[in-house]
Structure 1
Amino acid sequence: MDTTLQDPLVGQVLDGRYRIDARIAVGGMATVYRAVDTRLDRVLALKVMHPALAADGSFVERFIREAKSVARLAHPNVVQVFDQGTDGSYVYLAMEYIAGCTLRDVLRERGALQPRAALDILEPVLAALGAAHRAGFVHRDMKPENVLIGDDGRVKVADFGLVRSVDTVTSTTGAVLGTVAYLAPEQIETPGAADPRVDVYACGVVLYEMLTGEKPHDGDSPAIVLYKHLHENVPPPSAEVPGLPFALDDLVASATARTREVRPQDAVALLGQVRDARAGLTEEQLDAVPPQAVSAAHDNAEDRTSVIPRSLTVPRPLPVDEEEGFGPDEVDRTSRFQSPPPLPPRRRGARPRRGLLALVTVVLLVIGVGAGVWYINSGQFTKVPAVLTQSRAKAEQRLEAAGLEVGPVKHSYSDTVKRGTVISTDPEPGARIRKHDSVTLTVSDGPQTVKVPDVTGSRLDKAKELLTSDGLEPGQVTQEFSDDVIKGFVISTSPEAGTKRRAGSAVSIVVSKGAAIDVPDVTGEDLDDAKAELEEAGLTVEVSAEQVTSEFDKGQVAAQTPEADSQAADGDTVTLTLSKGPEMVEVPDVVGDSVDDAKTALEQAGFEVSEDRGLLGLFGDTVKKQSVDGGDTAPKGSTITITIR
């Protein structure tokens, strides 16, 4: 029975605008329909949240967040969102309709893909994610189901429902968002916290799956898969598909490094690595058909999943298996899955007669060349397998399985490669080597650690030398007063002496300023007296060239730095600023004014006011006299006495 006929929304018009014609897919949170926008008369996809979830605020928030996030990403490889709204119990998104299939459909039908096809899909995916990362968003749920491949060859990234801002940490009450097979280790260890490198990890897993037809980690339960993500590296694709170029192994290893600091910082950085890797591959390597690939042979009917898209953001060469001479419009067509092309039929022509000697020479030459080719391409030679980031034991097993001997094992410190795993090989992975020859492994000893030396009591310059000679870097130097340690010598370090730290780490140093001295107050004193008092306290005196007006007489100390009662070290400098005398201000004439008016005029001129009422002025309100006559000058801030009668 057609389940579409049972869907109550099919045939309905949502929000008075969107006529729902057919159901496309059903997910855990929403159902996607093909619909028509009756206002604009265009076909689109309508993503409708299940009514049972519409009452849950967190689900509705995710739904609306998807609309807002994607609306900010005007990118050709992102499924665009046109509208968001609510109709009764239905919450919906109106989105771009992509006629075609998903990458999951392609992998299910085709199995492993040719390297060219895998990179043609991966590049536009990374371009879309790169735009999201540079806009401050993380997808968090990259998987083949969310990669749409249109019938016209376009690649689109869909379902930004789990998108979050890069700097946002969410709490999911222990639930791990995203699909288990594509989760980065940090998403498992700290659910809700993610940065662009979780999308980079997922894209590395998707690339592995495209190249091999299988997921890198499998298990009988999700818990087993999660455990493998945390504790096992993604194996190189060439382990499943012999002959894959090392550059592809390296791409997968870089993107899926369990330590996120080792991965490319975002999809833009990974896209650069993909382009570099592609540039180094030959046409034969790009078009090699993996043994896991399902034959593309079928009848002459057009196959919608046979389209391999090409990145819309990067100019690409002619599609695979197209003849030269196509016009510019043909260059943008997409390549297709191809079976290995049939060998051209041999032309049987009449062989000219030649002398017996010439015939023998040709036969011997052919035999010699054939023997040389056989020797070079036969079992006498092999390639060094990819064993980087694998444990020493696994690396040795892979070398022995390839018919190679394990040569000397060297050790080296590494800040990025886990202790006990392989940093490099000599010859390097992918190099051609005679069977039974030896391969030298270099195994990581982890980060080099050193003990912080005890430099307390040493001069600062000597302490820096000791730290540098022990493989550490002198860090920030601060000063503190000390009654026990001489000025200029080290009081302590952070971290403390004896602490183990990674080589090259910075060590902060605290240096003594000597015993603290209380700075005496010399303001208002003559310069000679002030200098004598400060020098007796063990301080150095410096006189500022600038002078200021102040309440003090000319030549006396008006200000000092540091201020009085602060602390300084022996020999520190105290700067004195001298007074050029008080500022002289004209005194207003207030005789005959009321007391209030007189006080206001004098205070506004910068004077203090004192009242003299005597016995006769107890009830008076008129100024009969002032201590400084009006029109004369007096130091600003001085007191003017008014007599009231």
Structure 2
Amino acid sequence: MIGHDLGGRYEILSRIGGGGMALVYKAHDVLLNRKVAVKVLRQQFVNDDEFIRRFRREAQSAAALSHPNVVSIYDVGQEDETHYIVMEYIEGNNLNELIQERAPLQAEEAVRFAVQICDALGHAHQNHIIHRDIKPHNILIGNNGRVKVTDFGIARAVTSSTITHTGSVLGSVHYFSPEHAKGINTGEKSDLYSLGIVLYQMLTGKLPFLGESPISVALKHLQENIEAPRSINPHIPQSVENIILKATRKNPSERYSSAQEMLLDLDTCLRSDRLNESKTIFPMFNDLEETRVMPAIRGDIVASASAERFEPKVVVSDTSTKWADGENNKNPKKWKKPLTVVGVTLVLLALIIFGFLWLLDKLDTEEVEVPYVVGMTLADARKELESKGLEAQDPPIREFQKDIPKDQVFDQNKQNMRVKAGSAIVLYVSDGPEMVGLKNYVGQMIKAVQEELHSIGITNDRIEIKEEHNEQPLGTILEQTPASGELFDPLTVKLSFLVSKGPETVEMPDLVGEKLSTARKLLKSLGLVLKEENILYEPSYLHEKDTIIMQETHMPLDQVPKGSDITIRVSSGPPADAKSYVLNVRISPAVEGQSSEVKIVYSDARGENMEGITRTITSTVDIPVTVILAPDTVATVTVSRDNQFMDTKTISYDELVSGTGSSGLTIPGEELVPPTQNTEEQPVQGEVNGSDGESTTEGESEGSEQGQ
């Protein structure tokens, strides 16, 4: 059933409960996109036309109820032989589970629940609907604390063919009203009796009547008074006990006249002025139909009565004494004749009674003890019942049981009692865990699949996830084990999924400043793609031709999927109208033969005060300096030697265009004076120096001209 689209609208998600007559599933209403509860009639009842007719009629009547404390009925339908009722889905627990966990409840909480149940019953009674099966199992407590009463009208649908099934009667017999137990028509006050039993159980943690069989419990409802709740739980206020005692009176006329009257009493029972009110005393109720224990009639009393009835009496008087004596003496045997008649009559009666008892004994079927077959396989259970003169009802009632192997009996309707030989025993047989067909999850996202699996009871510790890089988006299921369509038990299955981690990624390198050829090799080694159409060329003063200027699509250190296309901007060199000029700088060391540090700084279209060349020289050298000029700009070249400014050369764009620019820059050094010359030879030397000085002056003049 799980995974089936019932009526083409309700997608069955998981089983959430069940009873002797129906199973309840959680489902998704695909039309209205909401969660609903779907009650499905068990298969053994699908051929009972009267049951189906009443089932649907009562469900339709319950659907007319609209109350915040009544589970709403949304739809009633049939698909093939499946009859179902769609109702409101409540997140929470039923009252029976709450009682098992926490009973006895606090008086305030129990009264709050009872008020809401009573309000729901009042609404139903006003609409002429009697619940007939009020018990904690049919009362839902939502996570918000709101009470919802469910299963309205279902009890009326039980027929003679289903009344013996334990699922329809045994589960409710502890909450029967006396009139319900008698089998007579029940009314509103029967529901109030059941509510009183529920309130009793909430406050004491126990049921008022227990027995070995449903019949014994029903008889106690008829014959015995309930034990006072305060004798079990002295913390119960007297006012609340009085409500329980009144609601559970054997005589319906002594109970509340309506749910509204009981609701008013519940609303005020916890007021301070009522908590310690006196205990309500009810008059004795004598039910003429009540089962009683009568004293046995002894045999000697019967014989004495019979003899007295048939023995002739002699009348004695003063005037007839002689006559009587004379008659008796004269006919001594006359009195024996009536006695003989009586004796023969008694013998005949005894023979008739004996024959009647003998005939009853022959007609009366032998009673046998019902064997306990729970835990046996169905085949062994049948054999055991047949060996005792009994038989198993065919077919048995089968249910999915998560903890019981398939074909093992987990319950029987009669046990620990004697029944007539040949009686049929209803066996409840396990179909094992409910198996579910695995969907095809390949291509779906793992997060959504995990949520769906959680809804059918598969926890994360039974879901194995393996990951690998793939072209599919991150989190996409690539493979699953078991395969699609295989049947599995949601409580024990272990699933394995291979999930995509997305494409494999690499760290994007920093390409700015690299040559295009170098970038090509690096990107190829990383599995990235550089297409020709993704290389964007543009002119640049700052970057040489074929040097990467910018990364367009991915920045350095980004994680990039392998195979991704990369887009870059590459320098095509200076613009077409730019001018390039090579200035030759001829420079000598400060002292010939000694080393000097030379530093050249230039400013042009690429930037200001850019360091060009730094070199150590020991002799005169030529150093070419390339400058680039944009229209209407100038370039400067500044030369320093040994950290001392030596000279600056300016080149203008217009000079280059007109061809009038100077060819270079010359910076001479100093000549070394020989140490052997003395003062006496200075005049002669002066002449030499004079001539040399003249030539030196000319050299400097020439250098200045060159500089100009």
Q: Is the shorter-chain TM-score for this pair beyond 0.5, marking a shared fold? A: no
If the length of structure 2 is used for normalisation, what is the TM-score? 0.38
TM-score when normalising by structure 1: 0.41
Structure of greater relative contact order (alpha carbons < 8 Å, 6+ residues apart): 1
- The higher radius of gyration belongs to 2
